[in-house]
A and B are shown apart, each in its own frame.
Chain A
Amino acid sequence: MAVVEVQIPGPLRTHTGQQSKVRAQGSTVGEVLQNLAQEYPSISSQLFESDGSVRRFINLFVNGEDVRGKGGLDTEVSEGDRVGILPAMAGGTGLTPEQVQRYHRHLIMPEVGSRGQRRLAASKVLIVGAGGLGSPAAMYLAAAGVGTIGIVDFDEVEISNLQRQILHGADDLGKRKVDSAAETLERINPTINVIKHDEPLTSANAREIIRGYDVVINGCDNFPTRYLVNDVCYWENKPLVDGSIMRFDGQLTVYAPGHGCYRDLFPTPPPPGMVPSCAEAGVLGVLPGIVGTLQALEAIKLILGIGEPLVGRMLMFDGLSMEFRELKLRKDPECPVCGEHPTITEPIDYVQFCGVPHETALVG
């Protein structure tokens, strides 16, 4: 007879005094459930049919493994094992049995649970650039079950991308980046919807594209697109999870509607040629992996409404000294876009604004 920890899903916690974990005894999963029902009698009708069999929509896990792949109710348990209960259908999670298995590690977390997982499935995230930052962000969001992922990029996969853009592999050379990205995301999670925007993001199309999403992740590689994405996200009231990288340095922040924008920090871009691009100055391949993954995390927090989003502060990452530092950000009342008397209220010519040659004003 072992003592195990039983993980109680949100909808059943009314029967356990709101406890998310309780202890129960048994040598098999079936015995543990019986013991649980003795301890908390009102849970019995949730778990068992009148003939004493376990209700069909109840999924059971031992240490994260579905017991159906093991010995069912006769699956043996050992001291300290974790037994998970997940009701799959009506009155339960509203998720399919496959989703319950796929997202099990999310479902047992109180911060996500079935409600959060459904919220992720209903959410739409736009990723600007299927490059260094966009790659890990898109892959983790796909794996996490974000229901719709839009990718805007008009480039083709080149061999110099592969050192850091893990959406793409050697077989993808020459492919459209959005196609290569969609194939990778499909492999990770075929249940989500990937929307390919195989075009540059421009003043003409940005509002319409961004309007269709809930959260925007900025993984672009040039200043004109950074200002364009910032301005349009502000006008369309979309939270922008902004990241940028260079060599060993990363910057990350979230511009939430009503809480300032990129122009509060950097009213104008650097003079042309003063700050090189990654193509000119280099970037360590792992660096976008770190920053892009953090962007995915911030996007998920925004969708779930949990934790403290990185709003009003900037996280700086220095990969050489392996340090994260946080700096405070403030709204600029004089900001021409989000300030008290805005003077820019629709997309401008961002290439001209940044003073860069047109051919470098690319997304990716």
Chain B
Amino acid sequence: MRLEVRVPSLLSDCTSGRTRLEVEADTLGEALSRLLETHPLLRAHLYDESERPRQHVLLYYNEENIAWLERLDLPLRPGDRLTVLQAVSGG
């Protein structure tokens, strides 16, 4: 199944300049792993040195924050999206 991934333009330096990506996987967790394998520079922005999710970055599986999910081995469905949201300060 294909998961559509959106990253903010600030992080597109880590994704070959693209803000819209696609990842092939069967589950959400697998898609996340594959995303970081394909774009290893993203890892430092999403996780800290102890592999904990960074507190200024949110990962959304469709409309839901993945931190609210009990498990990540959810089977992907057509049209699923992963959105990376990063706190920005600009005004």
The 22 listed contacts between A and B (C-beta, < 8 Å) are A132-B90, A219-B91, A220-B91, A222-B89, A223-B89, A244-B87, A244-B89, A245-B90, A246-B88, A246-B89, A247-B9, A249-B8, A251-B88, A266-B55, A269-B56, A275-B88, A278-B90, A288-B91, A318-B19, A325-B6, A327-B85, A330-B68
* Interfacial residues of chain B within 52-90, with CB under 8 A of chain A in the complex: 54-56, 58, 60, 63-65, 68, 83, 85-90
Instruction: Report the minimum CB–CB distance from A271 to chain B (whole Å).
Output: 8
Q: Give the dominant DSSP class at B's interface.
A: mixed
Contact between B89 and A277 (Cβ–Cβ < 8 Å)?
yes
Contact between A221 and B89 (Cβ–Cβ < 8 Å)?
yes
For B9, what are the chain A residues with a Cβ–Cβ distance below 8 Å?
246-249, 318, 320
Contact between B86 and A275 (Cβ–Cβ < 8 Å)?
yes
Contact count A vs B, C-beta below 8 Å: 100
Contact between B20 and A275 (Cβ–Cβ < 8 Å)?
no
For B20, what are the chain A residues with a Cβ–Cβ distance below 8 Å?
321
Contact between B56 and A328 (Cβ–Cβ < 8 Å)?
no
Interface bits B35-64 vs A (CB < 8 Å: 1, else 0): 000000000010000000011101010011
Contact between A328 and B63 (Cβ–Cβ < 8 Å)?
yes
- In the bound complex, what is the Cα–Cα distance between A265 and B58 (angstroms)? 8
- In the bound complex, what is the Cα–Cα distance between A219 and B91 (angstroms)? 5
Q: Is A133 engaged at the interface, CB distance under 8 Å to the other chain?
A: yes
Q: Is A190 engaged at the interface, CB distance under 8 Å to the other chain?
A: no
Contact of A327 among B19, B60, B89 (CB under 8 A): B60
Residues A226 and B56 in contact in the complex (CB < 8 Å), given A248-B9, A318-B6:
no
Contact between A316 and B83 (Cβ–Cβ < 8 Å)?
yes
For B19, what are the chain A residues with a Cβ–Cβ distance below 8 Å?
318, 320-321
How many positions in chain A have a CB within 8 Å of any CB in the partner chain? 45
Contact of B90 among A244, A268, A314, A327 (CB under 8 A): A244
Residues A316 and B85 in contact in the complex (CB < 8 Å), given A266-B55, A330-B65:
yes
For A318, what are the chain B residues with a Cβ–Cβ distance below 8 Å?
6, 9, 19
Q: Which residues of B contact A (CB under 8 A)?
A: 6, 8-10, 19-20, 45, 54-56, 58, 60, 63-65, 68, 83, 85-91
Q: Is A270 engaged at the interface, CB distance under 8 Å to the other chain?
A: yes
Q: Is A349 engaged at the interface, CB distance under 8 Å to the other chain?
A: no
* Interfacial residues of chain A within 256-297, with CB under 8 A of chain B in the complex: 265-270, 274-278, 281, 283, 288
For A113, what are the chain B residues with a Cβ–Cβ distance below 8 Å?
none
For A221, what are the chain B residues with a Cβ–Cβ distance below 8 Å?
89-91
Contact between B91 and A129 (Cβ–Cβ < 8 Å)?
yes
Residues A270 and B91 in contact in the complex (CB < 8 Å), given A316-B83, A320-B9, A327-B63:
no
Instruction: Report the minimum CB–CB distance from A245 to chain B (whole Å).
Output: 4
For A267, what are the chain B residues with a Cβ–Cβ distance below 8 Å?
55
Q: Is A326 engaged at the interface, CB distance under 8 Å to the other chain?
A: yes
- In the bound complex, what is the Cα–Cα distance between A132 and B86 (angstroms)? 19
- Most chain-A Cβ atoms within 10 A of its Cβ — which of B56, B63, B64? B56
Q: A244-B89, A249-B88, A265-B58 are in contact. List 15 more A-B contacts (CB 8 A).
A: A244-B88, A244-B90, A246-B8, A246-B90, A247-B9, A266-B55, A269-B87, A275-B56, A276-B10, A320-B9, A321-B19, A327-B60, A327-B63, A327-B83, A328-B63
Instruction: Report the minimum CB–CB distance from B52 to chain A (whole Å).
Output: 12
For B65, what are the chain A residues with a Cβ–Cβ distance below 8 Å?
327-328, 330
Closest to B64 in A: A328
Q: Is A131 engaged at the interface, CB distance under 8 Å to the other chain?
A: yes
For A84, what are the chain B residues with a Cβ–Cβ distance below 8 Å?
none
Contact between A132 and B91 (Cβ–Cβ < 8 Å)?
yes
For A266, what are the chain B residues with a Cβ–Cβ distance below 8 Å?
55-56, 58, 87
Q: Is A34 engaged at the interface, CB distance under 8 Å to the other chain?
A: no
- In the bound complex, what is the Cα–Cα distance between A222 and B88 (angstroms)? 8
Instruction: Report the minimum CB–CB distance from B56 to chain A (whole Å).
Output: 4
Residues A314 and B85 in contact in the complex (CB < 8 Å), given A249-B9, A249-B10:
yes
For A328, what are the chain B residues with a Cβ–Cβ distance below 8 Å?
63-65
- In the bound complex, what is the Cα–Cα distance between A250 and B6 (angstroms)? 14
- In the bound complex, what is the Cα–Cα distance between A255 and B2 (angstroms)? 34
- In the bound complex, what is the Cα–Cα distance between A131 and B91 (angstroms)? 7
